[in-house]
Amino acid sequence: MKLAFSTLGVPGLPVPEVLALATAHGYHGVELRAHPEEPVHPGIGPADRADVAAAFKATGVEVLGLAGYVQVAAPGDDGPVLAEIRQLLELAHDVGAPFIRVFPGADPDVPREESDATAARRLGTAAEDASALGVRILLETHDSHRTGADVIRVVGPVGHRQVGALWDVMHTWLGGEQPQETYAALSPYLGYVQVKDIASADDTTPLPLGEGVLPLTECVDVLCRHGWDGWLCWEYEKRWYETAPLLPELLGAGRDHLVRLLNEAA
């Protein structure tokens, strides 16, 4: 498996400095948080996009994906949601990212079946753009759809190869789903896996990998046992927790921990 980290852990850091961290600590790729407060987002122009792509190519580090914030199950008209997905897809194509991340974001007051249908309809429509641009849309296990069983209700009916799933191990654990159950649900659609660690269900402050309660060993075991050979991306949510230790200080030990889990599982 290949290892990556998310720029959510180093908010606002310029791309050359992100790449220097990846290179120094032996990571194969980087997930870019595609938000206006970050250096890479849909508002940047063609020259900046070309510079980002060139910087990654020069270092040999891969752009794993763009972590966007589109909510595909949210109430409202389809138009603005599809336009936002299209912008992310175009940015991903321009910087060389194979994936974009979207959120569910269903309203709890809307019947589940209606929210699922809304999300599936939008993703099915957006899949045509994704196919033309060579980018895959991944629905993350998050918020209203935090388990694999939740996400499969949307991704399964879409039935398009350019629409898949992103497994965030914290949310499936918080949803009470075991790693084997998540993998069984998502394996035909799995794009990559976000790993992290936290102290407890009540305290989601990010911790160094291996120091919290999340079932990382079990997740890696399941993936290896089934021969899955994709990406593990460390999403260290420093952006939301000012008191959390700085990610650059943890990257080396984090990579070592993931490599150790992979070796033990093998």
β pairing state of 190-195 and 203-206: unpaired
Q: Give per-residue pLDDT as tens, 18-75.
A: 999 999 999 999 999 999 999 999 999 999 999 999 999 999 999 999 999 999 999 9
User: Do 175 and 183 meet the contact criterion of CB atoms below 8 Å apart?
Assistant: no
The helix (H) or strand (E) run that includes residue 192 is: strand 190-195
Q: How many CA atoms lie within 13 A of 244 on its CB side?
A: 25
Q: List all residues 6 or more positions away from 17 whose beta carbon is below 8 Å from its beta carbon.
A: 10
Close Cβ partners of 62 (under 8 Å, ≥ 6 residues apart): 2, 4, 28, 29, 30, 56, 96
Q: The whole model's pTM is what?
A: 0.97
What does the alpha-carbon distance between residue 155 and residue 3 come to, in Å, rounded to a whole number? 25
Q: Spell out the alpha helix ranges (H) of the chain.
A: 15-25, 46-59, 78-95, 112-133, 148-158, 169-174, 179-186, 216-225, 251-265
Task: Identify the CATH homologous superfamily for domain 2-265.
Answer: Divalent-metal-dependent TIM barrel enzymes (3.20.20.150)
Tokens read off for 24: 């120094």
Neighbours of 214 (CB within 10 A): 22
User: Pick from 174, 90, 104, 186: which is nearest to 139 by CA?
Assistant: 104
What is the reported pLDDT for 196? 97
Q: What is the pLDDT of residue 266?
A: 85
C-alpha 93/C-alpha 216 separation (Å) is 31
Question: For the segment 94-105, what is each residue's pLDDT rounded down to a tens digit?
Answer: 999 999 999 999
Distance CA 172, CA 117 (A): 21
Residues 6 or more apart whose CB falls under 8 angstroms from that of 230 comprise 1, 2, 190, 191, 192, 193, 223
Q: Which residue has tokens 């791309």?
A: 15
- Report whether 176 contacts 147 (CB < 8 A): yes
Report domain extents, the chain: 2-265
DSSP reduced 3-state for 52: helix
Q: What residue ranges of the chain have pLDDT lower than 50?
A: none
